[in-house]
A and B are shown apart, each in its own frame.
Chain A
Amino acid sequence: MFTHDGWVPMRDYGEDAVDFVIVGTGAGGGTLACKLAEAGFSVIAMDAGAYWRPLEDFASDEQEQTKLYWTDDRIVDGDDPIHLGANNSGKAVGGSTVHYMMVSLRFRPEWFNSRTKLGYGADWPLEWREMWRYYREAEEALCISGPVRYPWGPQRPRYPYRAHPLNAPARYLARGAEKLGIAWSETPIATLSAPRGKAHPCVYRGFCASGCTTNAKQSVLNTWLPRALAAGAEIRDLAMAGRVETKNGRATGVHYFRNGQWRFQCARNVVVAGYAIETPRLLLNSSSSEFPDGLANSSGMVGKNLMVHLNQSVFGYSGDEIRSYKAPPSLALTEHWNYEDRGKDYHGGWCYMAPGPLPADWARTVSAKGKWGAGLLEEMSRYNHAVGLKMVGEVLPYERNRVSLSEQTDRYGLPIARVTFGFGDNERAMRTHALDFMDRALDAVGVTERWRNEEETAHLMGTARMGEDPATSVVNADCRSWDIPNLWVCDGSVFPTSGGVNPSLTIQALACRTGDRIAELAARGEL
């Protein structure tokens, strides 16, 4: 991982029963694999994707690095069908964190009780103070670079590593916020601002969404998983789980496809951590005579309440050279509208950051406003002057937004996911407010020829929600399914609400908590 042609030893458990088999090694599964292995359990974490070595295997190239994305077929429909693939999900050991943008934010405390405290969505079965501790654990594990003082929310300790210098788009964001009289901050971000062991600090090459060739990015691949291996976990790559087997009301193991054949891994516990589309798909695909509607689905909630984040943007041009391809995107942000509820005609919060699109991404953005031919070529030549702002906005849970099974099957013969999504009035009202505000923030710093990109969404949450009540949720606060005591879900799908921040830090904090809870339950003989 950290040296060219380097190798580390790894345990090989074979297919006899282990304590835990985890499907998916991303923000949820990879983190939990580490915690459980360090607690002394025998753990196999499998992933459909490859175990990449960034130093050797990653190119500085958008097209080549599409190898990191989940590009197996999925059907999208509904009033506002969402873009998946590159934009939304990874297929690699380390999951989507291998190509994520590293923004590492905590929820606003009230969001854990948004139903009782703010009057919308659903309550989490968790207490924010406890989550605050686990956020800290995750931030320390990832050596987050961030400001000394964070302007919003309850006080938090300073971030482990110092903040990165701001690039031009981030400086524009900061000046715009100041002109409009709201606070901004350096973004807490999971890329190194100083060396860590054999990993070098970020070199500001800006290809983060294509995977980091230098290991500066603190992904699950180079943080939790080396720890998991050292503690005796096995990571089984290129292993596609097709079905969780159950007998007498308990999970017995996982059928998976590897090296051209179907195999079976026995386990005393199964954790599903495939992210908010593949998790419900696997639970639904595992239906049996005992569980005809799919596993853990007595509430009927598996697949329902799919949430994304609003990820719309405003772009324009500056007389300055901006060159937003340099440094990680999103180096500055404002969470003002996550913590300010006055002046809104909708529920929920949003923040915005300074994006840094690479050429092909930028060409898709510019062409989406109806440009092609010579006009597109001409506009693309002004790339270095383009500057924008991009929101991350809370989407409410609606049962009609859901993952179900299509009649079509994939190359393994498994029914593929059908992802149905449409915005509600709340999202439309938030989008209008946010786009108007970001437009003003750009206008205030002299950005002209502005336009709005109204379609984009990001992140996936909510298709196996946690809750207090087995009738309306899939798992409890420990991510343990109500219906099958040795089946767990540990990834973005357990979110009851989406909050107005990027989800990966919350997923990792939850996985840390789940790991601790499992160890406690085991110690009490309650597994």
Chain B
Amino acid sequence: MADPFSAYDVLAKRDTPSWNERTRDVIDKRLALAIAENVLGDTQLATLRVIVARVCPDPPDRPATNTLAMIVRKIAEDEGDGYRPHTLPRTAECWRRGLDAIEDEARLRFNCGFASIEPDQADEILYAVESGKMCSELWGNLSPELFWKWRLLPDLVSSHWAQPSLWSAMGFGGPASPRGYVRLTENRHDPWEASEDAATNSSHALSQDHEE
């Protein structure tokens, strides 16, 4: 996949008026976040690592992300979102049980741990979680579909799109305080925003509605 914003790096704005002190601090800490130890077992962590890579791949040619470390932190702190279906346990227990069940599923289907199967086999299992077609007894009363929809997917994408590499790859302006934006209308942007590469731009250009 071509990166439509190859020349753009949101981190280059770190020391400009688009970032305030507090934001610099927050993003610095996020980029430096290490994977907390003793939160997950080795197998659970290996499983989670592969899930992150399959569900939320890093954009090519961009600095690696810290999504895995963010999820582990969330599990370590058993951080909730403020609501959960009554059949879903709290964050930490929910993740641990889901990871164990996915590992067991890989062993049942492929006779091999989740972290060691082929990528398309891993995807097959993830599709099955998504649609609730699971065999492992470890799921117990945990619904794979609910786990996917209320825990796995929102946690993963929320953490992944909190990463500057992803902001750059999508052409997002990134942090913007105190300096916000001046040019607000379509097809106009400020000098401190991403420019879309000409090649990808033309492939999108099909609008007919420019009369004012």
B 63-87 binary contact with A (CB < 8 Å = 1; else 0)? 0000000100000000111111110
Interface membership of A336, Cβ < 8 A: no
Stretch from B92-100, B101-109, B110-118, B175-183 at the A interface? B175-183
Contact of A57 among B22, B158, B176, B189 (CB under 8 A): B22
Complex Cα distance A319/B203, Å? 9
- Shortest C-beta distance, A5 to chain B (Å), equals 12
**Residues A206 and B180 in contact in the complex (CB < 8 Å), given A168-B185, A380-B161, A380-B166:** yes
Per-position 1/0 for A312-337, Cβ under 8 A of B: 00000111111101110000000000
Residue of B nearest to A58 (CB): B22
| Chain B contacts for A70, CB-based, 8 A | 82
Closest A residue, CB atoms, query B182: A204
Which residues in window 139-183 of B have CB below 8 A to A? 153-154, 157-162, 166-167, 169-182
- Asked if B12 CB lies within 8 Å of chain A CBs, one says no
How far apart are B45's CB and chain A's nearest CB, in angstroms? 20
Cross-chain contact B153 with A384 (CB below 8 angstroms):
no
Please give, as numbers and ranges, the residues of chain B lying within 8 Å of A445 by CB-CB distance: 209
Instruction: Indicate if B133 sits at the interface (CB-CB under 8 A).
Output: no
Residues in B neighbouring A323, C-beta threshold 8 A:
171, 173, 189, 193
Partner of A383 from B81, B172, B176 at Cβ < 8 Å: B172
Which of B30, B81, B169 has the most CB atoms of chain A within a 10 A radius of its CB?
B81
Q: How far is the CB of B186 from the nearest CB of chain A, in Å?
A: 4
Contact B161 A363 (CB under 8 A): yes
Task: Chain A residues near B79: list those with CB within 8 A.
Answer: 71
Q: How far is the CA of A381 from the CA of B3 in the complex (A)?
A: 8
Given contacts A168-B186, A214-B177, A376-B157, 13 further A-B pairs with CB under 8 A are A60-B20, A203-B177, A205-B179, A213-B22, A213-B177, A214-B178, A321-B189, A326-B181, A364-B154, A384-B194, A418-B86, A445-B209, A446-B208
Q: How far is the CB of B101 from chain A (nearest CB, A)?
A: 18
- Give CA–CA (A364, B154) in the complex, Å: 6
Nearest Cβ distance between residue A222 and chain B, in whole angstroms? 15
CB under 8 Å from chain A, chain B span 183-212: 184-189, 193-194, 196, 200, 204-210
Closest 4 CB pairs of A and B: A85-B82, A319-B207, A203-B180, A60-B175
* B side interface size, CB within 8 A: 73
User: Among the listed B123, B175, B186, which residue makes an inter-chain contact with A321, where contact means beta carbons less than 8 Å apart?
Assistant: B186
Residues 187-205 of chain A, each 1 if its beta carbon lies under 8 Å from chain B, else 0? 0000000000000001111
Would you call A83 and B83 a contact (CB within 8 A)?
A: yes
Instruction: State A202–B180 Cα separation when bound (angstroms).
Output: 9
B90 an interface residue at 8 Å Cβ cutoff?
yes
Contact yes or no, A63 B81, CB < 8 A? no
Q: Is the CB of B84 within 8 A of A166?
A: no
Which of A71, A204, A318 contacts B81 (CB under 8 A)? Answer: A71
Interface size in chain A (residues, C-beta < 8 A): 78
Interface pair A362/B161, CB less than 8 Å apart: yes
Name the residue in A323, A362, A419 with the highest tally of chain B Cβ atoms < 10 Å from its Cβ. Answer: A323
Q: Is A374 an interface residue (CB 8 A)?
A: yes
A476 sits at the interface (CB 8 A): no
Per-residue CB contact flags for chain A residues 63-96 toward chain B (1 = under 8 Å, else 0) read 1100001111111110001111110110000000
The smallest beta-carbon distance between A120 and chain B, in angstroms, is: 29
B14, chain A: closest CB distance, angstroms: 12
Within 8 A of A (CB), among B113-141: 123, 126, 130
Which residues on the A side are within 8 Å of B85 (C-beta)? Answer: 75-77, 81
Residues of B at under 8 Å CB distance from A? 1, 3-5, 18-23, 25-27, 30, 54-57, 59, 70, 79-86, 90, 123, 126, 130, 153-154, 157-162, 166-167, 169-182, 184-189, 193-194, 196, 200, 204-210
Question: A residues near B, CB below 8 A?
Answer: 56-64, 69-77, 81-86, 88-89, 165-168, 171-172, 175, 202-207, 213-214, 317-323, 325-327, 358-360, 362-364, 367-368, 370, 372-374, 376-378, 380-385, 406, 418-419, 445-446, 448
Shortest distance from the beta carbon of B26 to any chain A beta carbon, whole Å: 4
Ordered by A's residue number, 25 sampled pairs between the chains whose C-beta atoms are within 8 Å are A57-B22, A60-B18, A60-B19, A60-B175, A60-B176, A63-B26, A64-B23, A70-B82, A75-B84, A203-B177, A203-B179, A204-B181, A206-B181, A318-B186, A319-B206, A360-B158, A363-B161, A367-B154, A368-B153, A373-B57, A377-B56, A378-B1, A380-B161, A381-B3, A382-B204
Least Cβ–Cβ distance between B94 and chain A, in angstroms: 12
Which residues of the other chain, A, contact B3 by a CB distance below 8 angstroms?
A: 381
Residues of A within 8 A of B180 (CB): 202-206, 326-327
Residues of A within 8 A of B19 (CB): 60
Asked if residues B209 and A372 are in contact (CB atoms below 8 Å), the reply is: no
Contacts A73-B90, A171-B185 given; indicate if A325 touches B178 (C-beta within 8 A). no
Cβ–Cβ contact B80 & A71, under 8 A: yes
Measured CB to CB, the closest approach of chain A to B58, in angstroms, equals 8
Which B residues are CB-close (under 8 A) to A76?
83-86
Hey, which chain B residues are within 8 Å of A171, CB to CB? 185-186
Complex Cα–Cα for A425 and B2 (A): 45
For A382, the closest partner residue in chain B by CB is B204
Roughly how many angstroms separate A81 CA and B66 CA in the complex, as a whole number?
A: 31
Q: A71-B82, A167-B185 are in contact. Are A380 and B170 (CB under 8 A)?
A: yes
Say yes or no: A383 contacts B82, CB within 8 Å. no
Q: How far is the CA of A360 from the CA of B81 in the complex (A)?
A: 14
Complex Cα spacing A76 to B160, Å? 26
- The answer for the CA separation of A470 and B205 in the assembled complex, in Å, is 62
Chain B residues in 8 Å Cβ range of A203: 176-181
Separation of A75 and B146 alpha carbons in the complex (Å): 14
Alpha-carbon separation in the docked complex, A56 to B153 (Å): 32
Give Cα A406 to B85, complex, Å.
Answer: 12
